[in-house]
Amino acid sequence: MNTKIDFINGNTKRCLAAMFLPMMVAMFLNMAYNLVDSLWIGNLLGETAYAALTNSTPIILILNSVAMGATNGVSILLSQAIGANEKEKTEKMIMTSLAVAIIFSLGVTILLEVLLKPILVLLHTPNEIMQSAYQYLAIYVLGYLAVYLYCYFTAVLRSFGNSVFQVIAMLICTVLNAVLDPLFIHYLGFKGAAIATVASQSICLIFMLAYLYKKQFFKLHLSYFNKTLVAPFIIKGIPSAFQQSIPAISTSFLTSLVTGFGISALAAYGITGKLETILFYPAMALNMSLTSIVGQCVGGTRYDRAKDYIKLALKYGTVILIIFSALIVCFSNRLSYLFVSSEAAAEIVAVYFKIVGIGYVLNTVTNCFLGSLNGMGKPSKSMLCMVLYYLVIRMPLAWVLSNSLHELNGIWIAVFISHVIAAAAATVVANRELCKQEKRN
């Protein structure tokens, strides 16, 4: 059970590239996967249907964020065990965390099916799109077990230094969704898009399980279950899950604010969210890559290697995001017409990216340091940084500015300010923690 990439002794540039590039490709395939619903719904069913999808998106984001965050917490502990070459402990961790993952995801599914309508009311869902949003989400939630287990197994593979399979799995899922979406929408309408999504996610999970069975990266036996490991997974998983969910919680709150400015504004905010994924996913890929890489380096007490990886990730991430941000800012108006043919929505989208634009470079800096904190086994500190700039800064400031300025730009300004504060806070906290751990060892 050897790691696929030797982060401790290998060439830093090659190792980071071998981990990050497949992760980024997988993220962009995930973006394409998420865009499929938006493109087909916006073009086949119109602005109102797209607004219903936008209103459903915060809940979907929170669900996906919880899955990615909690399983990333698993990756923190696994990476450190693998870096310390503790093979027996690694086997027990995988079996125990898998059992927890299945129970948790099924519990969330049942809870959401019961509470879905009250949640949509809480999001101030307009009456004209309430039924559509409810139907879409009620079907989507049924596939949450598949989503969660997919995130779980990709996190386990990342812990071993394997990020390539995630690209293959996402490619299959994206192609399936692209083929099934127009077919199901044609015959079943708006809810057909949700059915196509659940079907493609389930098939993708089956494909991943077949791959894992063939490659035998690890063994699963019920005897490996160790109840004493449940608490550590919860301790690491809850902060990590909450950390990943905070942006989605913020999006939910901002969606409720934007709703007050009309259907075109709601549709436009949905478009900005889709275009933002182009700018967020490289940062997320670096975050997850550094969680596993720094985790292994810390497990092997090689803090010098951890510092090298962080510096290199910051360099790569900054260059990539400067290029991507410039392209989105320049072409956001035209790109918005790919989703909905609305001049009003396109104008709102263009203004949004002019205000927020440079913030995505800062967001990459933030994610590099947050991923490093996770790898150091400090997801709680990473979580507190997220709480600061999303819940303490962004949400209250967006409410104040939108009400005082009586326009959407107040919300967009709040988003930009929060990116600035985020980068500063994450930089300070991560560097202090790294120095502290280095001195301790």
Let me know: does 279 contact 59? Beta carbons within 8 Å.
Answer: no
**DSSP code for 229:** G
pLDDT at 401 over 90: yes
In the predicted model, what is the mean pLDDT of residues 68-72?
79
What Cα–Cα distance (Å) separates residue 267 from each residue in 191, 348, 399, 432? 18, 10, 19, 42
Short-list 148, 145, 165, 156, CA closest to 219: 156
- Lowest-confidence region among 135-139, 202-206, 216-220, 243-247: 216-220
pLDDT at 217 over 70: no
d(CA 200, CA 202): 5
Average pLDDT value for the chain:
83
pTM: 0.66
d(CA 274, CA 256): 17
**DSSP code for 224:** G
Q: Write down the H helix ranges in 216-302.
A: 230-259, 263-299
Short-list 239, 226, 249, CA closest to 376: 239
CA atoms within 13 A on the CB side of 130: 13
pLDDT band, residue 3 (cuts 50/70/90)? very low
In the predicted model, what is the mean pLDDT of residues 360-373?
92
The whole-angstrom distance between residue 50's C-alpha and the CA centroid of its chain comes to 21
Short-list 429, 424, 430, 354, CA closest to 389: 424
d(CA 244, CA 256): 20
CA atoms within 13 A on the CB side of 329: 15
Q: pLDDT, tens digit, for every residue of 256-315?
A: 888 888 888 888 888 898 888 888 888 988 988 888 888 888 878 888 888 889 999 999
pLDDT, position 2: 42
pLDDT, position 339: 81
CA atoms within 13 A on the CB side of 75: 35
d(CA 236, CA 222): 23
Let me know: does 394 contact 420? Beta carbons within 8 Å.
Answer: no
How many other β-carbons are positioned within 10 Å of the β-carbon of residue 13? 12
d(CA 51, CA 265): 9
Let me know: does 368 contact 288? Beta carbons within 8 Å.
Answer: no
d(CA 409, CA 92): 51
Short-list 372, 353, 367, 352, CA closest to 423: 367
pLDDT, position 4: 60
d(CA 287, CA 373): 10
Short-list 285, 204, 214, 279, CA closest to 18: 285
Let me know: does 368 contact 389? Beta carbons within 8 Å.
Answer: no
d(CA 316, CA 378): 24
pLDDT at 208 over 90: no
d(CA 271, CA 118): 25
pLDDT, position 441: 66
Task: For the chain, give the longest Cα–Cα distance.
Answer: 64
pLDDT, position 305: 87
d(CA 102, CA 353): 39
| Residues ≥6 apart with Cβ < 8 Å to 26 | 154, 163, 166, 167, 169, 170, 285
